[in-house]
Structure 1
Amino acid sequence: MKFASVIVSVSSKEVNRIFEYKIPDPLIGIIKIGHRVLVPFGPRNIQGYVVNIKDSVDFDASKIRPINRALDIEPVLTRELIMLAKHLADYYIDPYISVIETILPAALKSQSEKVLTLHSDASKEAADFFKASHSGGKVLTKKLDAEALKGIKPFIDSGDIIEETELKQHTNKKYARALKPTFQPGRDFGRAVKQLELLDYLENHEYIELSRLHEDGYSSHTINELVKKGYAEKIDVVIERDPYENRVFFEDKPKILNQDQDYAFGRIQDAMDRSDPKTFLLHGITGSGKTEVYLQAIKAVLDKGQEAIMLVPEIALTPQMVNRFKSRFGDEVAVLHSGLSHGEKYDEWRKIKEGRARVSVGARSSIFAPFENVGIIIVDEEHETTYKQTDRPMYHAVEVAKYRSSFHKCPLILGTATPSLETYARSDKSVYERLELNMRAASNTLPDTRIVDMAKEHRTGNTSVISSALKEAIQDRIDRGEQTVLLLNRRGYANFQICQSCGDVPNCPNCDISLTYHKSNHTLLCHYCGYEEEVKRECAACGSDDVTFRGTGTEKIEEILRDMFQVDVVRMDNDTTRRKGMHEKLLNRFEKEEVPILLGTQMIAKGLDYPKVTLVGVLNADTMLNLPDFRANEKTFQLLTQVAGRAGRHELSGEVIFQTYNSEHYAITLSESNDYQAFYEKEMEFRRFARYSPFYFHVLFTVSSEDVRKCLEAAAHVHEKLTAAVSDTAIIVGPSPSPIERINNQHRFQILLKYKREPDLSAVLHELDEFYYERYKKEGLSLRIDVDPQYIM
């Protein structure tokens, strides 16, 4: 007798544990660890995942219910991913099943519906009633009206009609009709030349899709005649949704590495040869050829018969990275990111699972690619906060990469021009090995950078958001047929609307934040909860019509640029890239040199590589400096350095202009000189003094409720529990109102825990999470526990 340990698909704390089920004799040897199964759970049947198989259990085996059926031929989870899910659930304080369902593509998450079926021994009366109850297809309980339910209930009670739970996937495999040769002897076609030609065509293939045959000029009549004569048959075949089927990728040969690149590649290859799970920091200035090192390291891995995982931080980076990787490795590459449809992502995931792709390229979630023999993991732009998921489970992809690197005994490469302070500090302590790339791959120099003080600019009479120096530089590039990238990290048209009579500013009714004006649809929009209202020309507070808009967003700058230079502009922000495929479409327009100016938010600041871009302008370098967060200086330095690196990456020299009201701030002046080491030393002084990461670990607790009194009471309770549980070396900051006190009608208070070593902390966090899970169900009061937060907001 065999038993399966199953975690069921119910995201509830009460069932966040393993349940034992008996494996029926016919399924012994078929059901394996990682299989999806249908199991009885209380009065219903639900989906679960097998996490272990055993020969015995510690209690009465006769009381254990059997698994109903397996939902897959092959397991969807590897043993490693099951272990990883448990590790993440424990570390990030989340239900085991939530992590499992994050690891798997959305297409495999099931929905259920109640279906009525007729028992084989049902009475004639029941059969007649059942037949009258439906007009073909399934009989769904939810579609029966009250009268029908009343009439059918006695037959359900008697067992003549059975109610079952049927699971369905969000996305299934996609099928198409195809023609398959039957290879029978004899070829008597008489004058039917087209049929004979089709048969010759078919015999060189296992099958050909009917749609392709029609495109090639074969009519339905010719196809049907061939089938009628027995020379071919029509079949259903699985086809894959390929998001790149219309793209042509030209072969890209490996480049000759320069001295720094060659040394870095040699150190990485040595770790691969020794199966050493070493973490490398590949610290290279922008344009130093980090991607070529990645590509050649992956080629070495593939030559050994292993697989590679490559992470990029933004969907916007994926098109160019995909182009590089597909051009080098062809169909070996699978692409996984949130810009794909469920079906496309599912098919890319299947390519990996079935061994037809050995390289995964994608954003955060692609770290869960179901490879079983990983030879290298690469995280490009490792400093990016997008690697940390902001919704539960709040995992960090870099931490997941470390776990998988250790499991597979393969090197992990963290590549960036601006490492996070935590990463660079670990390389300083030799926890990671640091590899430096100090020269640009094409041997050209970094762009010339200068700072424009906008306070002085305004004193000279220029009140425009475009300084005289930047205006002149943009015009110069337009005249020379070169391109410009402009960064403004604020979308919308204007920051807010204000009444000039009484000073009233329209705020979101659900959040403590002003509404942002979007001119394209003439609305005021909340960027936190999505609340939207039409713009009114009269002040709601005093009735005055003297209302105006203040501040500047990308939408307004686009309008200013078009008027100022009489040229087209590509704008990239959340508003213009919301629709599927728009990232790639907009970048393609710019890449083809159709448009001289690319304007965008931080999504354009990294990874983009265009030969005609010789000017980069940052319209407001202070934006992130003003955030109430200890990482504000670091994020400012990283953003400015990264966007500056887009200029002059090829034969043409580059220029960068930072516009700022804080021209003396070290985050900006050290970005100008591209001096990471000086910034690191300066910022580490602040972190040491203020006792922040990397000198301390952090956990951020956010209590939220519609009732502010309950919020305060809960925050005090969390503080009390922490004070009793942690050592005197830990620091508890708060409780205090969150920087934005109310979002979506939820009042928010936060507590920040700073600590160096607290071995019993995990148990306390799980206890708090469980306690507030119950309170959330009863009172709508929630506690969010963010381990290793990226923002203290």
Structure 2
Amino acid sequence: MQSRRLKDKVCYNYCMSYINVYIEHNSLALNTTFTYACDQKVEVGCRVRVPFGAQDLIGFVESVDVLPKVKNIKSVLEVLDTKPLLNEELMTLAHTISQNYVCSVISVLKTMLPPALRPSSIEHKIVYEDWAVLNDETVALTPKQKEAFASIRDQLPMKASILRKKISLSRPLFEKGVLSLEKRVKESVVPMEEIEDSSFVLTEEQQAAIENIEKGKNTVYLLHGVTGSGKTEVFLQLAKKVLSEGKQVLFLVPEIGLTPMMIQRVKARFQTKIAIYHSSLNAQEKYEQYQLVKENKVSIVVGTRSSVFMPFSNLGLILMDEEHDSSYKQDSMPRYHTRDIVMERAKFHHCKVVLSSATPSLDSYARAYKGVYQLVTLTKRISLQMPKIHLVDMKTEQVENGLSFSLINAIQQALAKHQQVILLLNRRGYLPVVKCTQCEETFTCPDCGIALTYHKKEDLLMCHCCGRVFYFDHTCPKCHSHSFYRLGMGTEKLEENLQNMFPKAYIVRMDADSTRKKNAHAKLLKEFEEKGDILVGTQMVAKGLDYQRVSVVGILQADASLARIDYQSAETAYSMLEQASGRCGRGQIEGNVYIQTFEPDHYVMRSVIQHDYFSFFSKEMKYRHLGMYPPYVYLCTVIYQDKKEENALQTAQEAKAYLSDLKVLGPISISMRQQKARVRLVIKSKDKELLTQRVWQLVHHHMRLKTTVKQDINMYPFGLEE
């Protein structure tokens, strides 16, 4: 008996191995692996449940068969996966992102996976359903059972719920073993209307662009084409060639609003099932789309930022539309830029990348200018006519309800001809500021300290920074008056004004409020296409939309972006104005754009009116060089947050002293969050590796201080918070 026990113990020790695990917490203080004993088979890339302090947490296996460095090692409680969730490429990529963006590895791993598979104790259950499958058709059946079985034989496998509706004798077929039940992941249908592929004849420029990219030896190409020049058609032609070689293609778009149109174009062209991946899908839908790629059931993926992490096995081409867009930069840990991840994946798969935009980012165009990327240009529109730009000087123009008389007349003429109008106002809500006329009190967010926006439809106040919503009883909390200024205007008020001015017009509003519901983007765009007269919206209506009947575009408060104290303000303004201008005159109808501005002589406005990107690029690069901003240097912002501003300020000053070998701007106080003061440093360096190294050292230095002041790192920020 004793011999038997000894033998069992030896066998147990033989089966035991040690693994290194990243636990689910994102904190940089826990950005290391922890060793656990495991008596089950497990591979790198699998999830495990482990004890950590007084909690049971989910971890991600980073390595197996390691040598333990300490005694009294805890054991794994449960192995959750039999096969790795991430392959070697993605595991290596996670470490690269962690190093380059100064973030935890586990935060990257979570970002890479759909919610249902993330290493997190917050469980997103995968929904399964029963399917009837053929088990043994040689089993003896009664005549009626044979007849019932014959009626569904060729339709197997099928959902069990559908089978029961088709035949009343389904139960005996299961009991006798003719059929058996099989659990399958429930398929969530992502609705998208099928459209016919449009006929096309490639222009000489398009043909030349396609040949340059297909025959070129470069990895990265910047496709700079004016709005309406047919960049999407170039994408489709390039994709067709790669797909014919049996490889996969990734179509990236910056926002959900652009996804429906790209999906329609891709589906219409290739007539095949594609994977769709973006933030409006629920956990089950994301899991399903992820599995389609992992199981090689699709060769085409269309998606937003997060789709860059899809588990491709044979990626042949990456197409990044509107590459300049700020939506490609993640605004929470890990704060990666999609373009950087694209380059890493292209390097691994040895595939080409095409970045496309009518207004390329200065960073990308500078690389193309220097020959790092290959520049490919489309200088002419398919319709051969660019829209006419009218700069409306708001210092001299007559105005009614925020609209200049010039724009009002243009809208009237367009509606009379049954043409369509797009109006851009990059501010949602009804009133941007609610201020008492008696005591001048302004309603502000207690968490962020910024003005609350009034939303008339819901009759509430909302913070557009943190999203908090407040009840509004139309009473001033300070003097108890009921009189407020009606200054300023958001898209909701603009919609109301337009309906009063043009009562017969069918108006569609598209902003973050009207697109909250599932598939709202696609529904609103279809509504405007089929019966809309005027489309009112924020910057989401400024790009990607292609409607032949749009003859007028109006841009209100065009100077708003220029007023921001940010080194990227001019670039942001130019991009939005040029992109919005390109929404009209895309067919046979002449397009007219009315830009309402108080600064008609600003170089951004002059470049837009001439559709001259290079003029803007040259001018703006001079300012960037003088101020030593990207692309001449690399930036990092570090924000310190605490309940007491003096604590945050002191910690920031100490950090600046620690980084005395680098150029550091600040510290400066910026808007608070969660009722905590925030202080910002801006770090500059021409040496990217040095910047990364010193920021990591700053992180570890901050940990040693054991302070309650929170430190927040953003490598290569897309603009500066105010």
**TM-score in same-fold range (> 0.5):** yes
Name the CA shift for 1:208/1:181 in 2 (closer, same or farther; >3 Å).
Answer: farther
- Say whether residues 1:788 and 2:716 are aligned partners: yes
Residue 283 of structure 1 contacts residue 416 of structure 1 at CA under 8 Å; is this kept in 2? yes
Distance 1:259 1:297 in 2: 15
Q: Could you tell me which residue of structure 2 aligns to residue 432 of structure 1?
A: 373
SS at match of 1:496: coil
Mapped pair 1:73 → 2:77 = no
1:309 maps onto 2:250 in alignment: yes
Give the drift of 1:58. Answer: 7.4
C-alpha separation in 2, matches of 1:72 and 1:789: 36
Decide whether the 8 Å contact of 2:18 with 2:38 is kept in 1. yes
Q: 23, 28, 32: which one pairs with 1:17?
A: 32
Q: Which residue of 2 aligns with 1:589?
A: 527
Match of 1:249 in 2: 194
**Cα gap change, 1:384 to 1:565, in 2 (>3 Å):** same
Match of 1:528, SS state, is: coil
Q: CA deviation at 1:65?
A: 6.2
Find the aligned partners of 2:363 and 2:281 in 1 and give their Cα distance: 32
The answer to whether the aligner puts 1:445 opposite 2:385 as a matched pair is yes
For the Cα contact (< 8 Å) 1:701–1:750, is it kept in 2?
yes
Distance in 2 separating the partners of 1:586 and 1:674: 29
Instruction: Give how far 1:67 is off.
Output: 5.0
Once residues 110 and 170 of structure 1 are traced to their aligned partners in structure 2, the CA distance between those partners, rounded to angstroms, is 11
| C-alpha distance 75-623 of structure 1, shift in aligned 2 (>3 A) | same
Contact 2:58 2:120 survives alignment (8 Å): no
Distance in 2 of aligned mates of 1:12 and 1:453 = 51
Structure 1 residues 497, 22: CA separation in 2 closer, same or farther (over 3 Å shift)?
closer
State how far apart, in whole Å, the 2-side matches of 1:510 and 1:302 are: 51
The answer to whether the Cα contact below 8 Å between 1:174 and 1:241 also exists between their aligned partners in 2 is no
**Where does the alignment leave 5 or more consecutive residues of structure 1 unmatched?**
113-167
Q: In 2, distance between residues paired with 1:238 and 1:388?
A: 32
Say whether 1:694 aligns with 2:639.
no
Q: CA offsets, 1:118-155, max 9 Å, x none?
A: xxxxxxxxxxxxxxxxxxxxxxxxxxxxxxxxxxxxxx
How much does 1:226 deviate? 4.6
Aligned to 2:687, what secondary structure does the other structure show? coil
Percent of aligned pairs with the same amino acid: 35
User: Could you say which residue in structure 2 is the equivalent of 1:89?
Assistant: 98
Alignment partner, residue 560 of structure 2: 623
Deviations along 1:68-102, whole A, 9 cap, x unmatched?
55422331101111111101111111111111111
Does residue 1:525 correspond to 2:462, yes or no? Answer: yes
Q: Which residue of 2 aligns with 1:238?
A: 185
Which structure would you say has the larger Rg?
1
Residues 110, 170 of structure 1: 8 Å contact kept: no
Contact 1:178–1:236 under 8 Å retained in 2? no
SS at match of 1:549: coil
Match of 1:121 in 2: none
Contact kept in structure 2, 1:444 and 1:650, CA below 8 Å:
no
Q: Equivalent residues in 2 for 1:529-678 (5 A)?
A: 529-566=466-503, 567-592=505-530, 594-678=531-615
Provide TM-score, normalisation by structure 1. Answer: 0.84
The 2-side partners of 1:508 and 1:23 are apart by: 50
Aligned equivalent of 1:182, options 136, 140, 144: 136
Residue in 1 aligned with 2:11? none
Contact 2:419–2:550 (CA under 8 A) maintained in structure 1: yes
In the TM superposition, residue 361 of structure 1 has moved relative to its aligned partner by 1.0
Q: Please, which of 416, 419, 422 is the counterpart of residue 485 of structure 1?
A: 422
CA offsets per residue over residues 449-485 of structure 1, 9 Å max, x none?
Answer: 1111122114xxx343111121111122222222111
Alignment partner of 1:624: what SS? coil
Deviation at 1:213, TM superposition (A): 4.2
1:608-662 per-residue CA deviation (whole Å, 9 max, x = no partner) reads: 1112222111122111111111111111110011011111212322221111111
1:470 is aligned to 2:398: no
Decide which of 60, 63, 87 is 1:52's aligned counterpart: 63
For residue 21 of structure 2, give the secondary structure of its aligned residue in structure 1. strand
Question: CA 1:59/1:569 → structure 2, altered by over 3 Å: closer, same or farther?
Answer: same
Counterparts of 2:302 and 2:621 in 1: how far apart (Å)? 33
Partners of 1:677 and 1:103 in 2: CA distance: 37
Q: Please, which of 452, 456, 464 is the counterpart of residue 396 of structure 2?
A: 456
Cα shift readout 1:704-753 (whole Å, capped 9, x = no counterpart):
21101101111111111111x43xxxx22111222x3x233121221111
Match of 1:270 in 2: 215
Aligned mates of 1:67, 1:464 — CA distance in 2: 66
Residue in 2 that maps onto 1:115: none
Q: Give matches, 1:49-448, under 5 Å.
A: 49-53=60-64, 57=67, 69-110=78-119, 112=121, 169-178=123-132, 180=134, 182-184=136-138, 189=143, 192=144, 198-213=148-163, 218-219=166-167, 221-227=168-174, 231-244=178-191, 247-250=192-195, 252=197, 255-271=200-216, 278-440=219-381, 442-448=382-388
Distance 1:227 1:749, change over 3 A: closer
Matched, 1:712 2:649: yes
Amino acid at match of 1:86: H
Residue correspondences, number: 705
Take 1:707 and 1:239, find their aligned partners in 2: how far apart are those partners?
A: 50
The match for 1:734 among 666, 669, 685 is 666
After TM superposition, list the pairs within 5 Å mapping 1:745-764 onto structure 2: 745-757=675-687, 759-764=689-694
Q: Quick one: structure 1 residues 664 and 701, their matched pair in 2 at CA, closer, same or farther if it must change by over 3 Å?
A: same
**Counterparts of 1:673 and 1:514, CA distance in 2:** 37
Residues 234 and 19 of structure 1: CA distance in aligned 2, closer, same or farther (over 3 Å)? closer
Give TM-score scaled by structure 2 length: 0.92
In the alignment, the residues of structure 2 paired with residue 516 and residue 538 of structure 1 have an alpha-carbon distance, to the nearest angstrom, of: 15
Instruction: Quote how far apart the aligned CAs of 1:199 are.
Output: 2.5
Contact 1:497-1:547 within 8 A present in 2 as well: yes
Q: 1:58 to 1:783 in 2, by over 3 A?
A: closer
Aligned equivalents of 2:176 and 2:35: distance in 1?
55
The offset of 1:527, in angstroms, is 1.4
- SS of the residue aligned with 1:73? coil
Cα distance change of structure 1 residues 233 and 732 upon mapping to structure 2, 3 Å threshold: closer
- 1:417-476 CA-partner distances (Å, limit 9, x unpaired): 001111111111001100001112x34311111111122114xxx343111121111122
Instruction: Quote the offset at 1:40 in angstroms.
Output: 5.3
SS in 2 for 1:792: coil
Cα drift, residue 288 of structure 1? 1.1
Amino acid corresponding to residue 301 of structure 1 in structure 2: V
Shift of 1:322: 1.1
Rounded to whole Å, the distance in 2 between the matches of 1:63 and 1:506 is 57
> Distance in 2 between the 1:186 and 1:501 partners?
90
CA distance in 1: counterparts of 2:696 and 2:506, whole angstroms: 54
- Give the C-alpha shift of residue 505 in structure 1: 2.2
- 2:522 alignment partner AA: E
Structure-1 separation of matches of 2:81 and 2:284: 17
State the secondary structure of the residue aligned to 1:402. Answer: helix
2: CA distance, partners of 1:773 / 1:479: 67
Which of 733, 755, 767 pairs up with 2:697?
A: 767
* Contact 2:551–2:591 (8 Å) recurs in 1: yes
Contact 2:424 2:555 survives alignment (8 Å) = yes
Cα pair distance change 1:622/1:205, threshold 3 Å:
same
Name the CA distance, whole Å, in 2 between partners of 1:680 and 1:110: 44
Per-residue deviation at 1:252?
Answer: 2.7
Distance 1:774 1:200, change over 3 A: farther
Q: Does the aligned pair in 2 maintain the 1:283–1:417 contact within 8 Å?
A: yes
Distance in 2 between residues matched to 1:214 and 1:479, nearest whole Å? 57
Counterpart Cα distance in 1 of 2:334 and 2:419: 45
1:334–1:361 CA contact under 8 A, matched in 2: yes
1:34 corresponds in structure 2 to 45
SS at match of 2:106: helix
Cα distance in 2 between the residues matched to 1:584 and 1:412: 28
The aligned amino acid for 2:395 is: A
